[in-house]
Structure 1
């Protein structure tokens, strides 16, 4: 069970998962296994998994069910079950499965298909690498054009100070479960790899459905993500009210070659 009261403080990045996360965490802290707590939330209709056909049949099972040597993604695709450990990493992975079932199924299908064709291998290849980046560390930003352009250009001062009022019109949702786990203990360098939404409404009612349609192989292989230090988002961290927060060039960096693109965390 978790050592921390993760949803007690309800920081801004957890708001989309708030009701769902609080229910699962409460059951887990009370002694229920994490797979059972996630399954109960699904049955109660707290997450998208229970509410949409895309998630029908998906269940969480103990990690011990995954046989040695069986690829994790292939097992999920073949059985409709998610092996789940009793830790925060898999807690957040489960919440993302419940909240964004269509997008998670899409990523799983892409991973499983690539593994079936190419094997696991020491090198994942461009598609599996991009899927892993987004699955572990991704986010999606619906925002006015000016914000999207400033972020794409890594124009940090313009993005966070000159255009600060426009952030009230923006919507950033974190998808990556590894990033959510790291944000349990927030640190200034924590960075999401953001999928920007060009030529689209500034927000959508169903981010899950939008993502499921947007996560196409060709688009992913082109590595369309833009790094965003998430604690720089206005309203997400008190320290960024002092604009000197953004002068740290070790965090707010200029553009770098795509070949250096990495999650910084191992896949699960």
Structure 2
């Protein structure tokens, strides 16, 4: 049995500062429902070129989202309480969900992939709906909008996750390297589950089906996170922080460009006139988000 008192953090002071900051931030933001509603103003419609005020409102709306706040606060609480190692010891000894370390690691990959495929499935559903309503132009308009938003959100999430891993230098539970905080699997699953959930919300499906699909997405993201703990790849605070990070970027980028609850669609105006710059066979393609 491992010694539960062993030191698992190389840069303990830096990580403790992160924990304190998250705790203070969470405490200040717990009453943020009113702030969130205020920030939502101006995000109702899509925008191809967001103003700074819209960027601010989208950031506040994403930060004060209950999932973002809850995951960040839980991560801070677990870290500050010093229970990370004990939880890791119990999870990797008993394997209550996935049965073994290797099983947990395999499932973390499969579940993460499930959230990514779900994002593509949701985007495909939006494209199909747009094509049914507006013809084949929906293949391009909705595909470009949803694909661009998803790419920006996933890319930003991956970049910051990697930077935080290098900056915090937390040793993994199995001692393999110092890139434990935050969990990349968890943040990736979270950002794609969030994007997929937004797509589902725009499809106009019956409420019970929407709830069921969103529950499935939540289970896949949560399963990915816990599997990393059982697989001795991360501590619980690592995966909770990853979940907060991924949900933030999925919400922020979606709100910033597509708006809250608006269809993922851009308008492509084809103008073959000689007065316009042309692409291909005399076609100009100015892009702008529709209401």
The TM-score, its normalising length taken from structure 1, stands at 0.30
Q: From the CA coordinates, give the structure whose radius of gyration is larger.
A: 2
The structure whose residues are more often helix, as a share, is 2
Q: Which has the higher contact order (CA 8 A, sep 6+)?
A: 2
The structure whose residues are more often strand, as a share, is 1
